[in-house]
Amino acid sequence: MKKIEFSKEAKATIVASIRRYFEAELDQPIGVLPAEFLLDFFADEIGAHYYNQGLRDAHAALLRKMEDLAEDIYLLERDDKNKGTAA
């Protein structure tokens, strides 16, 4: 699997969020560099689990839409009272 990478802006936003969490929930300030290391650790170690779950969720949503589409098409079918003639 390709390494999970974030844009510079996205990484800055995530790092800021990690720092806020440490400060608010753990009463423990964390610097930018340690927060970046933590983000990299999570991306490397557990990122694939979230990514794969996202793919499974997208696949399930697509299947539901395809079933809906198949049903809509079935409802458009017309009763063939004149078998053998063009519709």
pLDDT tens-digit profile of 14-37? 999 999 999 999 999 999 999 999
Distances (CA, A) of 14 to 8, 19, 53, 54, 60: 10, 9, 20, 19, 28
Would you call 77 helix, strand, or coil by DSSP? coil
Q: Where are the domains of the chain?
A: 8-76
CB hemisphere CA count around 31 (13 angstroms): 3
pLDDT at res. 78: 82
pLDDT at res. 87: 54
* Res. 79 pLDDT band, cuts 50 70 90: confident
Q: How far apart are CA 6 and CA 35, in angstroms?
A: 14
pLDDT at res. 10: 97
* Res. 85 pLDDT band, cuts 50 70 90: low
